[in-house]
Structure 1
Amino acid sequence: MTSSDDRGWLRAMPADGGRDALFDRAGHRVYGTRRLSELVQGRPPGVTGSQWGSASRTSFDLVVCAPDTQRPVVAVTIGPVPLPGSAEQRAERLTDAVSAAVGLPVLRIGSPTLRAADHGRRLIEYVLDARAYAAGGTGDEAAPVGFRDILGRLPDGRTGPVNDLGALARTAAVEAYVAGRLADPIVRGLHVHWTEGPAQGWSWVQPRLDSCLVERVSITAQRFSCGVDAARLAEDLATVAVGERLRAAPPDSPDLLARVDLTAEIAALSRRRDELVGGFAFDHLCAD
């Protein structure tokens, strides 16, 4: 299967005045579920009929289109990561290969908790704003404060990073602690980026001192920049997922992870630092 950056293979969305779009952001038009065959103009060279037949039926949750051409800027999926060796994983890999062949950027958010219907719009708005901010500077200027680090007034009245997607979840954790639902008010986390794989973020709270409610999010960005560090974004999204769980799950949820087991998993991750972009910066979390 060959690859190409020729966007001529990408199909423009119908010129219907945007009536079929979910919303607009920064001039970009965002559409809901679309099959790959709706985004690509026919079977590209190097893709067999069988490959195209299988991949063309797969769908993306959201598609962001350019203001000028109405062709896809990125196709997005949000949801659980397919199990290794599953038919879903094989279909995802084939879809990614065909997308690469036509130069279609793809953004995959892997999470057991987050879903496009509930979290997709905020994510897309955030990424488009971050990309626009990152594109605003020039190489002749001192680097501005990163989009994620812009300070302002937080929901609880404190000053902090206003573009922290997990801010509301952090406030909810404090409220849960005050209400006696958590043993600790702090939302902790880490993020890594695998050299030959996705960015990952972990986030957790402690309903009890010996147990943790843990969320993990992966981000795979193919031919696409999120405007912020993907690993850090993954951690923030994991914190968003923790907030969702706090609202939905009782503090004695059966899927809590023992704190000692979480510490062991973090230590195991630290031993693989040579496989990570930039190594591992969270050794302080390895001690129970």
Structure 2
Amino acid sequence: MYWATWDVTADGKLGPSNDLAQPARLDALRLWKKGAIDDYFIRSFDVAWKDGWAEAWAWLHIKNDLYLYRRARVRSFSFDCGLGPTELAEDVAIADIGVDLHRYLLGKAVLKRRWQLADILDRVRARAAEIEYSFTLGEVDFGPS
């Protein structure tokens, strides 16, 4: 995994280098500590499709049954550069959560209801025969209805 490479961060601490998702994770943690959101952990899952595309979905519980949700899709070109297409898609989706966190704080309509996320998940699961691999799809849960 590319983010397993450690480097000195801008604030002088040791942390993962080139992690596109890290700013979003840190923003979520800061907002959670301030009490602005109910959870800080950005959850995600990814899928490699048999047609060569990879997709990832990320979400962050904001309050009640409201979430930030983003999806990213990238194409696999069957060469190794140390970063797989599902990893890249996951990082992009999580990074986009960070963008939406800022939009949420500005009062923009970016929140989705839990049932909307469940519908998206049901549509992905309905395409199970088209999935090349997914290590986390079977574990996805958005919490109680």
Same structural fold, with TM-score higher than 0.5 when normalized by the shorter chain? yes
The correspondence of residues 177-256 of structure 1 with structure 2, limited to 5 A, is 177-222=32-77, 225-250=80-105, 253-256=108-111
Selected match of 2:30 from 142, 161, 175: 175
Q: Distance in 1 between matches of 2:13 and 2:125?
A: 33
For the pair shown, the structure with the greater C-alpha radius of gyration is: 1
Unaligned runs of 5+ in 1: 1-145
Count the aligned residue pairs. Answer: 143
Q: Distance in 1 between matches of 2:139 and 2:38?
A: 20
Task: Tell me the alpha carbon deviations over residues 57-112 of structure 1, each in whole angstroms, 9 at most, x when there is no partner.
Answer: xxxxxxxxxxxxxxxxxxxxxxxxxxxxxxxxxxxxxxxxxxxxxxxxxxxxxxxx
Residue 249 of structure 1 aligns to a residue whose secondary structure is helix
User: Does 2:121 match 1:266?
Assistant: yes
Q: Could you say if the C-alpha distance between residues 196 and 171 of structure 1 is closer, same or farther in structure 2, counting changes exceeding 3 Å?
A: same
Q: Distance in 2 between matches of 1:222 and 1:197?
A: 8
The correspondence of residues 91-240 of structure 1 with structure 2, limited to 5 A, is 146-152=1-7, 160-222=15-77, 225-240=80-95
Tell me the equivalent position of 1:277: 132
Kept in 2: contact 1:169–1:243 (CA 8 A)? yes
Q: Distance in 2 between matches of 1:190 and 1:216?
A: 10
Q: Could you say if the C-alpha distance between residues 197 and 152 of structure 1 is closer, same or farther in structure 2, counting changes exceeding 3 Å?
A: same
Task: Give runs of ≥4 in structure 1 deviating > 6 Å.
Answer: 155-158
Percent identical: 27
Q: Distance in 1 between matches of 2:20 and 2:67?
A: 21
Q: TM-score, normalised by structure 1?
A: 0.43
Q: Distance in 1 between matches of 2:13 and 2:129?
A: 38
Structural RMSD (CA): 2.8
Kept in 2: contact 1:263–1:285 (CA 8 A)? no
Q: TM-score, normalised by structure 2?
A: 0.79
Tell me the equivalent position of 1:50: none
Higher share of residues assigned strand: 2
The higher-RCO structure (CA 8 Å, 6+ apart) is 2
Kept in 2: contact 1:204–1:213 (CA 8 A)? yes
Q: Could you say if the C-alpha distance between residues 280 and 221 of structure 1 is closer, same or farther in structure 2, counting changes exceeding 3 Å?
A: closer
